[in-house]
Amino acid sequence: MKIVSPEQRHEIMAKLETEADWSQVPMARVQQIFKHPDRGGKFTRFLCQESWSYTFLQDMSKKGWTLRENTLCRIESVQNLELVPFVTFNNPCISGSELRALARNLGVNYGQEDAEFILQHKDEIPEEFQEYRLLFPGTVWSDCECYAKFPHLIFNDGLRHGPWLMGFSSVHDPFYSEYCFVRPLE
């Protein structure tokens, strides 16, 4: 990482003060960036880009989908993740809208960037996770038919034992005990 001189810092701050259209800046995103100072690359992209964009490994916009909602990547290690089940004996099924609200309330509203980070480290995913579909409702896409969908990871144990794959669940689907959230251990 290149060190910025005091003069360059002043120049950057002056441009931010005088040339930035702050009414167009998603302030919640800026606050998330500042909460994670080690994510300097994301802040650099923020400063350098004409418009805010995301870089997904599986960019569904190339298939005609529209990104409706997204959260920044917050998972920094796969080895310290735990499963967060959300169905109970008394409530064996939950709707997608209830699931998304619950994820926000529990602080497990992780998105596609988190799912892709996990996929990049799939050898580190604990074996007990293979029994579940891992949900990431922090990113919501509208597919070509305008159905709202969010990412999930599933272990493909069909004919070949193998990789974790990313798919998309409809917000209108019911969710049962084979689905779980993930979160870092506290």
C-alpha 35/C-alpha 53 separation (Å) is: 20
How far is it, in rounded angstroms, from Cα 174 to Cα 116? Answer: 24
Asked whether residue 53 is assigned to any structural domain, the reply reads no
| Domain enclosing residue 99, as ranges | 60-184
Residue 55 lies in a domain: no
Q: Give percent of the chain above pLDDT 70.
A: 68
Residue 15 — pLDDT band, cuts 50, 70, 90?
low
180 pLDDT above the threshold of 70: yes
Same domain, 75 and 143: yes
Q: What confidence tier does 77 reach under pLDDT thresholds 50, 70, 90?
A: very high
Q: Are residues 28 and 72 in the same domain?
A: no
Question: pLDDT tens, 116-125?
Answer: 999 999 889 9
Give the CA count within 13 Å in the CB-facing half-sphere of 178: 8
10 occurs within a structural domain: yes
Has residue 47 got a pLDDT over 60? no
- What's the number of domains the chain is made of? 2
Do both 82 and 44 map to the same domain? no
Q: How far, in Å, CA of 175 to CA of 17, rounded?
A: 47
Q: What is the pLDDT of residue 152?
A: 96
The predicted model gives 72-78 an average pLDDT of 90
> Does 94 lie in the same domain as 12?
no
Cβ neighbours for 57, distance < 8 A, ≥ 6 positions apart: 116, 119, 120
Question: Is residue 114 located within the same domain as residue 33?
Answer: no
Confidence of residue 133 (pLDDT cuts 50, 70, 90): very high
